[in-house]
């Protein structure tokens, strides 16, 4: 139900305004996917920037030239990050204990990431707000409020990939007169197969992850 309402709200200006904070949160999930993956592969995660229009970037420094596989994985996990994180939150809604734990953990990670990596005003405003809400609901909210919060956050993150579906099937675009390669374009450069094929594979993977989470979560 939340997913269907969200899709409808995306289609109207007022709905887009209501969902605006969640759009910035989805960008955080996306860019954290890039940054944390680069860290796991040996890079230094330097900063995360979220712009008011919902775009953003994660900047990492590599000790040398990253391998093709490292570049492809870093790009791919950024695209899949919101769907994976959202699905985990959806699954957590099945258990009161898991719900409280995940809300508290999300709040903690949001807060710490803001201090350590975030370098933009939009991020400094929105992310600590979400962090405070998550922690407050986790420790003082009713079971009903906790379940609604985790399902709302999970669905918003999980289906955010389809808000910018065109990005998945683009090799990039011009920003300020400079061509910026998309994530699927970066995968194409690393692994040679066309960007639209990677877009299709990532979309199919995200659908499978979300469908599996919703299916399991519905067995209450």
Rounded-to-integer distance, Cα 166 and Cα 161, Å: 10
For residue 60, CA distances in Å to 40, 66, 118, 139 come to 11, 11, 13, 34
Q: Please give the pLDDT value at position 166.
A: 77
For residues 112 and 114, what is the distance between their CA atoms, to the nearest angstrom? 5
Residue 8 pLDDT more than 70? no
Q: Which residue has better confidence, 114 or 211?
A: 114
- From residue 149, how far is each of 19, 87, 128, 162, 214 by CA, in Å? 14, 14, 16, 21, 16
**Region 195-206: what's the mean pLDDT?**
93
pLDDT of amino acid 168: 83
Mean of the per-residue pLDDT values for the chain?
Answer: 89
Partnered with residue 178 across adjacent β-strands are 175
pLDDT of residue 219: 75
Alpha carbon 57 to its chain's center: 12
C-alpha 59/C-alpha 46 separation (Å) is 6
Locus of tokens 């005003």: 121
Q: Is the pLDDT of residue 2 over 70?
A: no
pTM over 0.85, yes/no: yes
HSE (CB half, 13 Å, CA atoms) of 209? 24
Where do the domains of the chain lie?
2-217
Res 167: pLDDT: 81
Supply the pLDDT for residue 218. 79
Q: What is the pLDDT of residue 23?
A: 87
Predicted confidence (pLDDT) at residue 100 exceeds the cutoff of 70: yes
Whole-number Å distance between alpha carbons of 210 and 14: 26
Tell me the pLDDT tens digit for each residue of 203-220. Answer: 999 989 988 988 888 776
Inform me whether the pLDDT recorded for 149 exceeds 60.
yes
Task: Specify the pLDDT at position 12.
Answer: 65
Identify the top-confidence range among 8-12, 121-125, 203-207.
Answer: 121-125
């Amino acid at each position: 139900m939340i997913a269907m309402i969200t899709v409808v709200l995306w289609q109207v200006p007022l709905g887009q305004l209501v969902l605006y904070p969640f759009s910035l949160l989805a960008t955080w999930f996306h860019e954290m996917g890039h940054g944390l993956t680069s860290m796991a592969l040996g890079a230094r995660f330097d900063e995360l920037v979220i712009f008011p229009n919902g775009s953003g970037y994660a900047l990492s420094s590599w000790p040398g030239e990253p391998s093709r596989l490292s570049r492809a994985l870093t790009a791919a996990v950024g695209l899949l990050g919101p769907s994976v994180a959202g699905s985990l939150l959806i699954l957590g809604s099945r258990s009161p204990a898991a719900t409280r734990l995940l809300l508290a953990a999300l709040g903690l990670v949001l807060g710490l990431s803001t201090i350590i990596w975030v370098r933009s005003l939009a991020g400094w405003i929105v992310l600590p707000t979400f962090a405070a809400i998550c922690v407050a609901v986790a420790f003082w909210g009713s079971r009903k409020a906790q379940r609604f919060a985790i399902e709302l956050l999970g669905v918003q993150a999980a289906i955010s990939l389809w808000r910018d579906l065109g990005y998945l099937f683009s090799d990039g675009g011009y920003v300020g007169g400079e061509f910026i390669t998309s994530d699927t374009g970066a995968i194409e450069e690393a692994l040679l197969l066309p960007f639209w094929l990677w877009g299709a594979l990532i979309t199919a993977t995200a659908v499978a992850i979300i469908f599996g989470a919703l299916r399991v979560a519905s067995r209450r």
